[in-house]
Amino acid sequence: MESALYPGSFDPITFGHLNILDRALDVFAEVTVLVAVNPQKKPLFSLDECIEMIRDATAGRPRVRVDHHEGLLVDYARRHGIKLAVRGLRAVTDFESEFAMALTNRKLWPDFDTVFLMTRAEYMFLSSSVVRQVAQMGGDVSGFVPPCVEERLRLRFGYR
Ligand code: ADP
Protein backbone atom coordinates (compact mmCIF):
# COMPACT_ATOMS: atom_id res chain seq x y z
CA MET A 1 0.00 0.00 0.00
CA GLU A 2 1.32 3.37 -1.00
CA SER A 3 1.21 6.88 0.31
CA ALA A 4 -0.63 9.59 -1.55
CA LEU A 5 -0.91 13.37 -1.43
CA TYR A 6 -4.24 15.15 -1.29
CA PRO A 7 -3.37 18.69 -2.39
CA GLY A 8 -5.68 21.68 -2.31
CA SER A 9 -6.44 25.06 -0.81
CA PHE A 10 -8.80 23.78 1.91
CA ASP A 11 -9.96 27.36 2.67
CA PRO A 12 -11.73 25.95 4.67
CA ILE A 13 -11.96 22.13 4.70
CA THR A 14 -15.50 20.84 3.99
CA PHE A 15 -17.43 17.57 4.22
CA GLY A 16 -16.73 17.15 0.47
CA HIS A 17 -12.97 17.15 1.15
CA LEU A 18 -13.36 14.81 4.13
CA ASN A 19 -15.38 12.35 2.05
CA ILE A 20 -12.66 12.23 -0.63
CA LEU A 21 -10.03 11.85 2.11
CA ASP A 22 -11.85 8.93 3.76
CA ARG A 23 -12.25 7.16 0.46
CA ALA A 24 -8.57 7.75 -0.34
CA LEU A 25 -7.74 6.12 3.01
CA ASP A 26 -9.59 3.00 1.82
CA VAL A 27 -7.09 2.76 -1.02
CA PHE A 28 -3.83 4.20 0.36
CA ALA A 29 -1.87 3.37 3.50
CA GLU A 30 -1.23 7.02 4.33
CA VAL A 31 -2.59 10.26 2.93
CA THR A 32 -0.94 13.66 3.34
CA VAL A 33 -3.38 16.55 3.14
CA LEU A 34 -1.16 19.15 1.54
CA VAL A 35 -2.24 22.75 1.83
CA ALA A 36 -0.98 24.50 -1.27
CA VAL A 37 0.20 28.02 -0.58
CA ASN A 38 -0.76 30.08 -3.61
CA PRO A 39 0.54 33.66 -3.41
CA GLN A 40 -1.90 34.66 -6.16
CA LYS A 41 -4.99 33.73 -4.15
CA LYS A 42 -6.32 35.90 -1.37
CA PRO A 43 -7.45 33.35 1.19
CA LEU A 44 -10.10 33.88 3.85
CA PHE A 45 -8.13 31.92 6.45
CA SER A 46 -4.39 32.03 7.09
CA LEU A 47 -2.27 28.98 6.37
CA ASP A 48 -2.01 28.25 10.10
CA GLU A 49 -5.78 28.46 10.50
CA CYS A 50 -6.39 26.13 7.52
CA ILE A 51 -3.92 23.62 8.95
CA GLU A 52 -5.41 23.82 12.45
CA MET A 53 -8.92 23.19 11.08
CA ILE A 54 -7.69 20.22 9.02
CA ARG A 55 -5.89 18.76 12.05
CA ASP A 56 -8.99 19.20 14.16
CA ALA A 57 -11.33 17.74 11.51
CA THR A 58 -9.07 14.71 10.90
CA ALA A 59 -8.08 14.10 14.53
CA GLY A 60 -9.56 10.57 14.63
CA ARG A 61 -7.69 9.44 11.52
CA PRO A 62 -4.21 8.15 12.42
CA ARG A 63 -3.11 7.56 8.80
CA VAL A 64 -3.56 11.21 7.85
CA ARG A 65 -0.66 13.65 7.80
CA VAL A 66 -1.07 17.38 7.32
CA ASP A 67 1.56 19.56 5.69
CA HIS A 68 1.86 22.64 3.49
CA HIS A 69 3.88 23.57 0.45
CA GLU A 70 4.59 26.61 -1.66
CA GLY A 71 5.70 25.84 -5.20
CA LEU A 72 5.32 22.90 -7.53
CA LEU A 73 3.44 19.89 -6.23
CA VAL A 74 5.89 17.51 -7.94
CA ASP A 75 8.82 19.11 -6.08
CA TYR A 76 7.20 18.28 -2.77
CA ALA A 77 6.20 14.83 -4.05
CA ARG A 78 9.69 13.99 -5.27
CA ARG A 79 11.31 15.20 -2.06
CA HIS A 80 9.01 12.94 -0.04
CA GLY A 81 9.08 10.01 -2.46
CA ILE A 82 5.31 10.11 -3.02
CA LYS A 83 4.23 9.39 -6.58
CA LEU A 84 0.49 9.79 -6.34
CA ALA A 85 -1.96 12.62 -5.84
CA VAL A 86 -5.67 12.29 -5.14
CA ARG A 87 -8.12 14.86 -6.44
CA GLY A 88 -11.91 15.03 -6.25
CA LEU A 89 -14.16 15.59 -9.24
CA ARG A 90 -17.54 17.24 -8.83
CA ALA A 91 -18.80 18.13 -12.28
CA VAL A 92 -17.65 18.12 -15.86
CA THR A 93 -16.46 21.66 -15.27
CA ASP A 94 -13.77 20.36 -12.90
CA PHE A 95 -12.51 17.97 -15.54
CA GLU A 96 -10.67 20.22 -17.94
CA SER A 97 -8.50 22.04 -15.43
CA GLU A 98 -7.83 18.82 -13.50
CA PHE A 99 -6.88 17.06 -16.71
CA ALA A 100 -4.44 19.85 -17.61
CA MET A 101 -2.94 19.86 -14.14
CA ALA A 102 -2.53 16.06 -14.02
CA LEU A 103 -0.85 15.97 -17.43
CA THR A 104 1.40 18.90 -16.56
CA ASN A 105 2.49 17.21 -13.34
CA ARG A 106 3.25 14.00 -15.20
CA LYS A 107 5.26 15.97 -17.76
CA LEU A 108 7.27 17.54 -14.94
CA TRP A 109 7.82 14.16 -13.27
CA PRO A 110 6.98 11.17 -15.49
CA ASP A 111 6.63 8.81 -12.49
CA PHE A 112 3.90 10.97 -10.99
CA ASP A 113 0.23 10.08 -11.35
CA THR A 114 -3.10 11.50 -10.25
CA VAL A 115 -6.04 9.44 -9.03
CA PHE A 116 -9.53 10.94 -9.30
CA LEU A 117 -12.41 10.11 -7.03
CA MET A 118 -15.95 11.18 -7.94
CA THR A 119 -17.75 13.25 -5.36
CA ARG A 120 -20.72 11.79 -3.56
CA ALA A 121 -23.88 13.22 -5.13
CA GLU A 122 -24.80 15.12 -1.96
CA TYR A 123 -21.49 17.06 -2.12
CA MET A 124 -21.68 17.83 -5.80
CA PHE A 125 -22.37 21.53 -5.27
CA LEU A 126 -20.24 21.92 -2.18
CA SER A 127 -17.08 24.00 -2.40
CA SER A 128 -15.06 26.11 0.01
CA SER A 129 -16.17 29.24 -1.84
CA VAL A 130 -19.87 28.36 -1.42
CA VAL A 131 -19.23 27.82 2.29
CA ARG A 132 -17.44 31.18 2.58
CA GLN A 133 -20.30 32.97 0.83
CA VAL A 134 -23.06 31.35 2.88
CA ALA A 135 -21.18 32.00 6.13
CA GLN A 136 -20.50 35.60 5.21
CA MET A 137 -24.24 36.14 4.89
CA GLY A 138 -24.92 34.46 8.21
CA GLY A 139 -26.36 31.25 6.76
CA ASP A 140 -26.26 27.84 8.44
CA VAL A 141 -23.18 25.92 7.27
CA SER A 142 -23.50 22.98 9.68
CA GLY A 143 -24.45 20.68 6.77
CA PHE A 144 -21.29 21.64 4.88
CA VAL A 145 -18.41 21.74 7.35
CA PRO A 146 -17.37 20.09 10.64
CA PRO A 147 -18.09 21.95 13.92
CA CYS A 148 -14.51 23.28 14.32
CA VAL A 149 -14.78 25.03 10.94
CA GLU A 150 -18.29 26.29 11.66
CA GLU A 151 -17.01 27.84 14.88
CA ARG A 152 -14.16 29.63 13.07
CA LEU A 153 -16.54 30.97 10.43
CA ARG A 154 -18.84 32.21 13.15
CA LEU A 155 -15.98 34.05 14.86
CA ARG A 156 -14.71 35.44 11.59
CA PHE A 157 -18.04 36.79 10.40
CA GLY A 158 -19.42 37.59 13.84
CA TYR A 159 -22.78 35.82 13.71
CA ARG A 160 -24.32 33.33 16.16
P1 ADP B 1 -8.00 23.74 -5.23
O2 ADP B 1 -7.97 25.23 -5.07
O3 ADP B 1 -6.66 23.13 -5.43
O4 ADP B 1 -9.03 23.19 -6.18
P5 ADP B 1 -9.78 22.92 -3.09
O6 ADP B 1 -9.48 23.00 -1.63
O7 ADP B 1 -10.87 23.76 -3.62
O8 ADP B 1 -8.38 23.23 -3.78
O9 ADP B 1 -10.05 21.42 -3.50
C10 ADP B 1 -9.11 20.40 -3.27
C11 ADP B 1 -9.56 19.14 -3.97
O12 ADP B 1 -10.77 18.67 -3.37
C13 ADP B 1 -9.89 19.31 -5.46
O14 ADP B 1 -9.51 18.14 -6.15
C15 ADP B 1 -11.38 19.48 -5.47
O16 ADP B 1 -11.95 19.07 -6.71
C17 ADP B 1 -11.77 18.53 -4.35
N18 ADP B 1 -13.08 18.89 -3.79
C19 ADP B 1 -13.47 20.07 -3.26
N20 ADP B 1 -14.77 20.03 -2.87
C21 ADP B 1 -15.22 18.78 -3.19
C22 ADP B 1 -16.47 18.10 -3.08
N23 ADP B 1 -17.55 18.73 -2.60
N24 ADP B 1 -16.56 16.83 -3.53
C25 ADP B 1 -15.47 16.22 -4.04
N26 ADP B 1 -14.26 16.79 -4.19
C27 ADP B 1 -14.13 18.05 -3.76
Predicted confidence (pLDDT) per residue in 8-44, tens digit: 999 999 999 999 999 999 999 999 999 999 888 899 9
| 41 is annotated as an active-site residue | yes
Domains in the chain (CATH in brackets) are 3-125 (3.40.50.620)
Asked if residue 17 has its Cβ within 6 Å of ligand 1, the reply is yes
State phi, psi for 67 to the nearest 5 degrees.
-150, 175
Among 9, 17, 69, 87, the active-site one is 17
Determine if the pTM surpasses 0.85: yes
Question: Ligand 1 atom closest to Cα of 124?
Answer: 23
| 68 is annotated as an active-site residue | no
pLDDT tier, 160 (very low <50, low <70, confident <90, very high otherwise):
low
Per DSSP bridges, beta strands 84-89 and 113-118 are parallel
CA distances from 78 to 44, 83, 109, 151, 156 (A): 30, 7, 8, 36, 37
pLDDT tier, 1 (very low <50, low <70, confident <90, very high otherwise):
low
